[in-house]
Amino acid sequence: MDVLPLLKSLGVPTGSVGKGVLRVVSPVDGSTLTSLPPASPDNVNRAVVRAQEAFLAWRMVPAPRRGELIRRFGDTLRAHKEPLARLVTLECGKILEEARGEVQEMIDICDFACGLSRQLYGLTMASERPGHRMAETWHPLGVVGVISAFNFPVAVWAWNFCLAVVCGNPVLWKPSDKTPLCALAAHALFLQAARQFEGAPADLSQVLIGGADTGKALAADARVALLSATGSTRMGRAVAPVVAARFGRSLLELGGNNAMVVTASADLDLAAQAILFSAAGTAGQRCTSLRRLLVHTSVAKKLLVRVGAAFGKVPVGNPLKSGTLVGPLIDGAAWDAMAAALARAGKAGGTVEHGGRVRVPGCSGGFYARPALVKMPAQHDVVHTETFAPILYAMTWRHFDDAIAMNNAVPQGLSSAIFTSDVREAETFLSATGSDCGIANVNIGTSGAEIGGAFGGEKETGGGREAGSDAWKNYMRRATNTVNHSRALPLAQGIRFTI
């Protein structure tokens, strides 16, 4: 596949494309798209220095002006939505329909961040001292580092980038080494918008291509005020202690092992639709993909027959072609992990339906798999482990308390859902005694979140929150201010200290 015309249409400088040791492979057919030079430690250091200089200038720009730059970035994305979506498909393998949705998510967060630029609110608090006023103010934080994963090669960066820039910070981006071209394209589109904006300093956005060593360098650098890292739990365990050792901030969005509870009163037509997209969409490679299906015994047989039939006929194929709903796994290692997990599940007493490799004409180097439905007798260790592939483990329950316990029994805590027509079950699931996940839905699936809500989860998911709600506070520092406008100096708590 010749990717150069597509890169040029997105404004990516191609001088270094094809001249490095980092090989970029398309999961569509296993072909090499190009190669790129990785960043050296000196490259990282110089990038941090430039980002610090950008911060000193950008923090002085009023927030609504910063929002105007992001608004223009959104317009640039709108004008280039189709070519950027095509590049996403080529490099990460998700179907074009989902790739278009990912670029739309970037546009949506631009709109959100632009409005947010006039709403970076602090609080005013009542002081116990006469003639005093207390308030909090929010200030730009500093250089923000972003480590992103292959499965959402542009949207998750945009969640962080748009909010960080509106909050007054420059961003250093270390994309997945599996999807660096998407990063270069998104960066180039931002630069197009920035060139038309008076007052934007150079180096508000920088991209650092590389592997784990580049991410470690950002984690260890005390000049990086916040490191937002999206990826596996293993990656989070490597990065978080390094940031913590230097008392930096980290924002972690890590693994998910998401469950859907289906009750006896559930609308099974609705549930079946949600299960198919949540489990099979993006070839099961979303952090919010449905991994566990917990079904009441009274409806289990009926529902599982429908799910198995849907998995058996869902179109698996070239993600660039219309009609395809499930594209390839990212690489051969992902297929090996899927095959190993299915073998473990079988040894643990599970019954495996489908899950075999699919041969796609013209895509012999790609790793395509039919989604697997695995009926498990219990939540074996393999069920507790996130496998980034289209595997759905199904288990049954009789008592609602047991369903909630099963939902919460895994180490991860990202997304969850319940399908029910009983308001008591729904509200219990959302309550303090219900799902322990950062996302808990009723009568919709576990994946496909909107940017208006804070995105993230608990336990081994990392505890971070990105995108909407008040996630912007991650990118700012808070100062509590007390102003004395009287002619006396009373002390708090009634303390007297005079001579």
The residues carrying an active-site annotation are 253, 287
Is the CA virtual torsion 356, 362, 367, 369 positive or negative?
A: negative
User: Would you state the torsion angle of the CA atoms of residues 399, 401, 406, 410, taken in this order, to the nearest 10 degrees?
Assistant: 180
State both tokens at 231: 């990826």
Residue (of 340, 334, 346) closest to 374 by Cα position: 346
Phi, psi angles (nearest 5°) of residue 445: -75, -175
261 contacts 404 by C-beta, under 8 angstroms: yes
Q: 490, 498, 495, 481: which is closest to 131 by C-alpha?
A: 490
Which residue matches tokens 């632009």? 114
Decide: 190 and 196 in contact? Cβ < 8 Å. no
Q: What is the 3-state secondary structure (H, E, C) of 382-405?
A: HHHCCCCCCEEEEEEECCHHHHHH
Q: Are 415 and 408 in contact (CB under 8 A)?
A: no
DSSP string for residues in 204-265? SEEE---SHHHHHHHHH-TTEEEEEEES-HHHHHHHHHHHHHTT-EEEEE----EEEEE-TT
132-140/143-147 β-pairing: unpaired
**Nearest to residue 450, comparing CAs of 65, 101, 195?**
101
Give me 116's structure tokens: 């947010």
CB count within 10 Å of CB 325 equals 18
Dist CA 27 CA 397 (whole Å): 38
How are beta strands 224-230 and 249-253 bridged, if at all? parallel
Structure tokens at 435: 């799902």
Report the distance separating Cα 264 and Cα 189, nearest Å.
50
Residue environment code for 145-177, b if the CB has 16+ CB neighbours within 10 A, otherwise e: bbbbbbbbbbbbbbbbbbbbbbbbbbbbbbbbb
Q: Read off the DSSP letter of residue 38.
A: P
Question: What are the phi and psi torsion angles at 165 (to 5°)?
Answer: -65, -45
